[in-house]
Each structure stands twice: as C-alpha cells, then as structure tokens.
Amino acid sequence: MGDCVKVNVDNNTLVLYYIKRDDLKGKGRFTIMLPKDAWKKGGHLTAPPLTGYNMYFDNGDKGDYGKDHLKQKSKNVEPGKMVLALSKAKTFGVETSFGSLELLAKSDCDLVLYWPNDSSGDHYNNFTNILGKVKDVVGDVTSIVTDLSQVGALGYRA
C-alpha cells in the first residue's frame, strides 16, 4: 500500500496513506473516505491550483463514489504542500473546527485520508482523560500540602 500515518482528532484516529498509481501521470490526488453512515464532517482543501475546495460530507451525502460501506470524495492536485481544514458536526449538529493538517501531495500517488465514526468509547475516553487531569491536579495539591506540613513541623513561621 505505501506510507501510513495516524493522526488523532477529537478522539478519532484518522488514517492517512499513500497509494502509488500509474494512471495519475505526474499528478497527485487527494481522497477523503468516510463510513457510509458518517455524520457531517470533512474539510476544505487548499492545494495548488485549488483554494478552499469543499470536501465536506453533509448528512446523506454519498460523495463522488461509494461502496456499500464507504463514501469518498477525490480531487486531483499538483504535487507539493496542501492544507486540509478539518471540521465536523458535534452536539446539536453544530459544526466545529478541529484545526488543520498540512499534507504533502506526491507525484503519481493518491493520498487517502480515512476518518472513522466516533467510537462508542469516546465518552469513556473523555471521562478518563478528565480523571487523569484531576488526578494530576490533586497530586500537585497533595504535594504542596505535604511540603507545607513539613515546613510547619520544623517550626517555620511566615
């Protein structure tokens, strides 16, 4: 298949991979793929000669081409740097930005980005991340209290 990179975005692991293709004849191509039942998500692609090309899937959008379990949009691009501004619908369908990915279009390659659906474990992952941060703060507070009690035990006064 080719080079593969994984990027975490909003508790999802996006998978990027290059596929060598002889039919592109010196050009590059960018493809975004989603599960067929995906909520609204995607991005705007800026890559020569395109500026702000919409690669966003709305609910029910089948894309340019779809298999039974996937939908996709593709666009030919010149080799070089491109930027994909990511966004997706969150609570109550509000579109939320998730930053940008700087990508490299390679000659004779299709750069494919697969963005899976939110997993059922996302609420759990959010909860455990929050607990980890609380634990760190509590650990810091406990350390400070311990240090202060040791200072008090030595008879120091402010």
What does the DSSP assignment read for 108-120? TEEEEEE-PPPPT
Check residue 104 and give left, alpha or beta (phi > 0: left; psi -120 to 50: alpha).
beta
pLDDT in tens, 82-138: 999 998 887 777 888 888 989 988 888 888 988 887 765 555 566 666 666 666 666
Q: Which stretches within the chain are classed as H helix?
A: 122-153
- Copy the structure tokens of residue 72: 């996709």
* 155 has pLDDT over 80: no
Query: pTM to 2 decimals?
Result: 0.66
Q: How far apart are CA 24 and CA 34, in angstroms?
A: 23
Cis peptide before 49 (omega within 30 of 0): yes
